[in-house]
């Protein structure tokens, strides 16, 4: 079991997107540094910041990610699950389905799309846009197949980096928790330009 709340630190000023995930005690759990200029989305998740211990890979099944499926596997290649972006539903309000062996595990949905719209608009105003990270905080809710809440991801106030906090709202098996955390990482990498 992970020690919640988890903190995700997203480096904004870095050339390549980077996310560090730490637990409530500050211990590093996962580290992602996304490669630039890849035709198809592919991410390696490491257990250390030096990127010497690969734990997982997340790879898209197609070049255009309108409704792409992202296959999650261990570093040894064993399948963990699939994260699928719901194309048309995600235009206005981000929506991702998380499955394992074809069975639903979680649904990730944006709680209030207006917050992301306001964050994006305010962020385009010269000088004042730098403060958008302090004013608007998009949030995402992960629910189990029975509709019960499992996890909440909320953007935190930050100036030079994106900060997110994951809180646990309900019971999850260790496997579902692992896949849910990896799905959140992929969601943030895909939605970063929209708040």
In the chain, domain spans: 6-194
Rounded Cα distance between 144 and 129, Å, is 36
Rounded Cα distance between 67 and 85, Å, is 5
Fold designation for 6-194: Porin (2.40.160)
Cis peptide bond prior to 91, omega within 30° of 0: no
Which helix (H) or strand (E) element contains residue 188? helix 174-191
- Residue 186 CA, distance from chain mean position: 4
pLDDT (0 to 100) of residue 45: 95
Rounded Cα distance between 85 and 88, Å, is 9
Full pLDDT tens readout for the chain, 195 residues: 789 999 998 876 666 778 899 999 999 999 998 776 554 578 899 999 999 999 999 998 876 656 789 999 999 999 999 999 886 555 567 889 999 999 999 999 988 877 767 776 777 777 766 666 666 678 899 999 999 999 999 988 776 667 899 999 999 999 999 999 999 998 888 876 554
Rounded Cα distance between 163 and 32, Å, is 14
pLDDT (0 to 100) of residue 137: 75
């Amino acid at each position: 079991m992970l020690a919640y709340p988890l903190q995700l630190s997203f480096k904004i000023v870095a050339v390549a997107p980077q996310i560090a995930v730490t637990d409530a005690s500050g211990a590093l759990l996962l580290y992602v540094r996304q490669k630039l200029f890849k035709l198809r989305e592919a991410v390696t998740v490491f257990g250390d910041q030096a990127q010497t211990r690969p734990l997982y890979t997340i790879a898209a099944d197609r070049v255009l990610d309108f409704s792409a499926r992202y296959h999650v596997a261990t570093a040894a290649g064993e399948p963990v699950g699939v994260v699928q972006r719901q194309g048309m539903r995600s235009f206005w309000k981000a929506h991702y389905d998380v499955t394992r062996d074809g069975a639903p595990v979680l649904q990730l949905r944006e709680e209030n799309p207006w917050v992301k719209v306001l964050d994006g608009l305010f962020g385009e105003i010269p000088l004042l846009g730098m403060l958008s990270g302090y004013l608007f905080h998009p949030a995402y809710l992960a629910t189990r197949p029975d509709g019960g809440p499992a996890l909440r991801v909320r953007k935190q106030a930050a100036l030079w980096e994106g900060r997110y906090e994951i809180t646990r709202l309900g019971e999850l098996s260790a496997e579902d928790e692992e896949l849910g955390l990896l799905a959140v990482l992929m969601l943030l990498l895909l939605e970063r330009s929209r708040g």
